[in-house]
């Protein structure tokens, strides 16, 4: 079942250690088949060097295992919630990459300070609220998805234009049209988090990117008038 998607999700997961986005087993990628209403996700706690495409677990949009002999990622309820609430995404990645986690621990947005950021993210990458004691005890992973979606709604953000979020005191989630795109966005997020950290150490001046420069870099890669790359 979904053998092609399993291979795609497996390959996307294997990119995480190659891109230095994960330590040990601290990360996962999933990818969805919207027509069938099923998605594929990494199994929980399996070391990357032992992972195989056949280990990927198939889950439905109610969070139930459809196929697989291993437990799916412990973050499966988060992925399930995001797939249901963000209907245009095709892949999700969660990591504990250190520069992004630093901003999450500080409960700070990753601000738009340079064109590297603007090429991929149209706004600051938001830091969603940390979960309360009650939310953690009730449904930790499910409520992790809810705090992300709630933050985008409250701030009026477009989840396609800004395809990532931090969960305060936890870490980053990123998404995209395909699993490999989600991984790309996660790497960009980690890169700009590191760049922003150093910028904020170097100056107390306002380094926020002007809107006209953000627009130029974002729209040269996205939208009907994009011209970056090959036709």
Could you tell me which of 222, 88, 92, 97 has the C-alpha nearest to residue 170?
A: 97
Per-residue pLDDT tens for 10-35?
Answer: 999 999 999 999 999 999 999 999 99
For the domain that residue 126 is a member of, what is the CATH number? Answer: 3.40.225.10
Q: Is residue 231 part of a domain?
A: no
| Percent of all residues in the chain with a pLDDT value above 70, rounded to a whole number | 100
| Mean pLDDT rounded to a whole number for the chain | 97
C-alpha to C-alpha distances, 203 to 16, 69, 110, 116, 189, nearest whole angstrom: 32, 52, 16, 19, 21
Give me the mean pLDDT over the 51-67 stretch. 97
How many separate domains does the chain show? 1
What's the average model confidence in pLDDT over 49-73?
Answer: 97
- Residue 137 resides in a domain: yes
Range of the domain at 39: 3-219
Residue 160 lies in a domain: yes
In a domain, 146, yes or no: yes
Residue 76 lies in a domain: yes
Q: According to the 3-state scheme, what is the secondary structure of 114-133?
A: CHHHHCCCCCCECEECCCCH
Catalytic residues, by residue number, are 119, 228
71: three-class secondary structure by DSSP: coil
171-176 and 65-67: which strand pairing? unpaired
231: confidence class by pLDDT, cuts 50, 70, 90: confident
List for the chain the helix, strand, coil content (%; round to 5).
45, 15, 40
Q: 111: Cβ–Cβ under 8 A, 6 or more apart, which residues?
A: 117, 124, 196, 207, 208
Coil/strand/helix, residue 15: helix
Q: Does residue 204 have a pLDDT over 90?
A: no
69 part of a folded domain = yes
Residue 211 lies in a domain: yes
CA 81, 84, 86, 90 torsion-angle sign: positive
pTM: 0.95
Per-residue pLDDT tens over the stretch 96-112:
999 999 999 999 999 99
Q: Is residue 195 part of a domain?
A: yes
Let me know: does 93 contact 178? Beta carbons within 8 Å.
Answer: no
């Amino acid at each position: 079942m979904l053998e092609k998607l399993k291979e795609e999700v497996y390959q996307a997961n294997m990119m995480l250690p190659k891109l230095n986005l994960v330590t040990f087993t601290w990360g996962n990628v999933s990818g969805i088949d919207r027509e069938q209403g099923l998605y594929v996700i990494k199994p929980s706690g399996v070391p990357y060097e032992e992972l195989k495409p056949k280990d990927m677990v198939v889950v439905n949009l109610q969070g139930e295992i459809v196929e697989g002999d291993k437990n799916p990622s412990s973050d499966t309820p988060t992925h399930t919630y995001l797939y249901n609430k963000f209907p245009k995404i095709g892949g999700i990645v969660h990591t504990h990459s250190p520069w992004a986690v630093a901003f999450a621990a500080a409960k700070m947005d990753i601000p738009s300070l340079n064109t590297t950021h603007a090429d991929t993210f149209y706004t600051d990458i938001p830091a969603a609220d940390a979960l309360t004691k009650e939310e953690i005890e009730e449904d930790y992973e499910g409520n992790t998805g809810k705090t992300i979606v709630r933050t985008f709604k409250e701030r009026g953000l477009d989840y396609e234009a800004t395809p990532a979020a931090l969960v305060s005191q936890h870490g980053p989630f990123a998404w995209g049209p395909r699993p490999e795109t989600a991984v790309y966005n996660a790497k960009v997020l980690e890169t700009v988090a590191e760049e922003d950290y150093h910028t904020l150490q170097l100056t107390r001046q306002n380094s926020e990117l002007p809107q006209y420069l953000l627009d130029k870099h974002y729209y040269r890669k996205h939208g009907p008038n994009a011209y970056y790359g090959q036709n």
